Amino acid sequence: MKIPFVAIFISVVLIFFSAINYYIFIRGWQALPEAGVLRKIYLPVFIIFASSFFAGRIIERFYMSFVSDFFVWLGAFWLAFMLYFFLLILLLDILRLINHFIPFFPSLIIANYCKAKLIIAFSGFVILILLIGAGFANALNIRIRKINIEINKPASHLKTLNIVMASDVHLGTINNRTRFTKVIEKINSLNPDIVFFAGDLVDEDVTPVIRHNLGDLFGTIRSKYGIYAITGNHEYIGGAKKTCAYLSDHGINMLKDTVVKIDDSFYIIGREDKDMPRFTGKERKTLNELMKEADTTFPVIVLNHQPNNPREAANAGADLQLSGHTHDGQMFPFNLLVRRMYQISYGYRKINNTHFYVSSGVGTWAPPVRIGSNPEIVNIMLNFR
């Protein structure tokens, strides 16, 4: 990765993060009574929560223990609270601004303004606890998405292919052994012919994965043709070389701009992640270059983590492209944002003769919370003609 890009990116993130936390802190401080113990408690508690995510990640780099786990979990939940505290306070400030010009607040609130601020702050806190608690429960409730797709090509002796695809598992401290065991149980229950992990299998740093020995769990996946995975942006953030080596050592076929023919029946093209040049300074191969290595009279399945340009696969003549990355926004209102960013942000689409599926992912990044999106494992039955 180029140093200027890292410096700019980290600076922007820290400024943005600090500004939002300051805004939340000030509004919370103003809602508390000046006299009493609440303000004395509020300041240190807020500092601990606001700094916990970065503290946990830093501690994790040097000394992984229950302390680092505690701060990572605390910080992950704080990111969800931070988002919805910000949106709630912003809404209240907009209402206050409107009331300044067009008074509509009830006289009871005006007459007891200090008390009303405290009640509203407490009520908002309780509502957000319930909301985020529901989002946490939703993130644990993995759905199975079943799709039937017809490919108008012969696949040698194969008539059907039972594919199970999971993207954005984000294995690490949050998406841990217990969580991944449930994912594998779901995968095995579908009796797959082949299993695909469409990027971001590991959540940045592979060290927690090694510490908890999550690699051994891959050996419990039952699949006729094996397990194939591609890199996502998070593999590169944490160091793709070390991560890919670990996954390969545990039975994962890592496809890095690689073309593989399976059972003399169909091809898999596994693309490097779109962000690879930022971290390595090298360009990934174009899909047209990779397609030249395949016999396109056979079905061709493309694994491409980020679904930025579906027309590329359609124009290249791929039969099926599987992607992830978007999480379908993971938490409202980000799902509205990703729908504007990507032509296909979630679900099934067909362009020309190419079928596409973009998964919402089975894991979570940062907050273990899903509000407005669902975790899923995708089960695709390919029927060949």
Close Cβ partners of 89 (under 8 Å, ≥ 6 residues apart)? 23, 24, 27
What is the average per-residue pLDDT within 257-285? 95
Close Cβ partners of 100 (under 8 Å, ≥ 6 residues apart)? none
C-alpha closest to that of 165 among 140, 146, 179, 152: 146
Distance between CA atoms of 109 and 103, rounded to whole angstroms?
12
Distance between CA atoms of 110 and 107, rounded to whole angstroms?
5
Question: Nearest 5°: CA angle at 278, between 82 and 361?
Answer: 50
Taking only the tens place, the pLDDT of each residue in 105-121 is: 888 888 887 888 889 88
What is the average per-residue pLDDT within 309-330? 97
Using 50, 70 and 90 to split pLDDT, how confident is the model at 1?
A: very low
What count of other Cβ atoms lies within 10 Å of the Cβ of residue 221? 18
Q: Are 162 and 355 in contact (CB under 8 A)?
A: no
Q: Mean pLDDT over all residues of the chain?
A: 94
Residues in the chain: 385
Domains of the chain: 3-138 (no CATH), 143-384 (3.60.21.10)
Taking only the tens place, the pLDDT of each residue in 5-24 is: 667 777 888 899 999 999 99
Taking only the tens place, the pLDDT of each residue in 52-105 is: 999 998 898 888 888 999 999 999 999 999 999 999 999 999 999 999 899 988
Least confident span in 182-186, 235-239, 318-322: 235-239
3-class SS of residue 379: strand
Distance between CA atoms of 81 and 348, rounded to whole angstroms?
32
Using 50, 70 and 90 to split pLDDT, how confident is the model at 3?
A: low
Position 331 pLDDT exceeds 60? yes
Q: Which helix (H) or strand (E) holds 380?
A: strand 376-384
> Given this model, what pLDDT does residue 20 score?
96
Distance of CA 301 to the CA centre of its chain: 23
pTM score of the predicted model: 0.92
